[in-house]
Amino acid sequence: MKAQARIQFDEAKRQSYVQRRQRLLKQLSGGFLLASSRPAFHKYESSYYRYHQDPNFYYLTGLLSEDQGAVILSDVEGKPTSMLFVPSRDAYTEVWYGPMIGLDGAAVMGFDEVYHLDELPKILIKLMAKATIVYMDRQNHAAQQRLYEDVISKQRIFYDGLEVRDYWGLLGDARLFKDDYELDLMRRANRISAAAHRHLMRFAKIGMNELTLQAELEKEFKFGGSAATAYHSIVASGSNATCLHYQVNN
């Protein structure tokens, strides 16, 4: 029996992401924006580094998993459309890593259209024939650079006047303004962080190892409901406290 797709979106979360995509669509003026998830990186042959999603892809989708995917927001020919591309679900992969998103999961996320990931090049070429501008990340994203080299750059010569721009300004400005859903998440994160730090001040004793303190702090983060830390914990004692970004913690 096939497991249920890995999607946990309540209605408030779904609506928040739908609305932010709609706000961006109004700014595209005859162009389209392409965002992609980041690949997972091997630590060694049979193990990966802890996955970190591309922040712009997360901002548009809410997906933190390492399932490879892409988003297109298109206002080509005055037809605002949000599209999500995801891999087909694979039974072998799901045995190892759990249920994938798949088209069944993508269908409940509030996108106008959902596609298999292998249809992305075909859709890109179709949009390029009518678009005036493409927004993407060519500077900091290896997957986007491959798409540019393999698809966009090769097809661009056929479409005179098609402009390619970096999307950081557009998405960076959008991410400055927080909606109620984001503000609630930020307040919750602050509460978890404050409670964990108060706990650690009570827990700490003279002579304790930095690593012990880090473990206790991050345990409290997780008990409070946080899946991960926003950045690497800095736990410095003695002269180590003079290092601004100390990370040894041991």
Whole-model pTM over 0.95: no
- The residue length of the chain stands at 250
The label of the residue with tokens 């269908």 reads 107
**Count of CA atoms in the C-beta half-sphere (13 A) of 198:** 7
Q: If pLDDT is split at 50, 70 and 90, which confidence band does 111 have?
A: very high
Domains in the chain, please, with CATH?
Answer: 11-176 (3.40.350.10), 180-242 (no CATH)
Q: Residue 159 CB: number of other CB atoms within 10 A?
A: 15
pLDDT tens for each residue of 71-87: 888 998 888 999 999 98
The label of the residue with tokens 């962080």 reads 193
pLDDT tens for each residue of 112-167: 999 998 999 899 888 888 888 889 887 777 777 777 777 777 766 666 678 888 89
Question: Are 9 and 62 contacting, i.e. CB atoms less than 8 angstroms apart?
Answer: yes
Question: Are 87 and 106 contacting, i.e. CB atoms less than 8 angstroms apart?
Answer: no
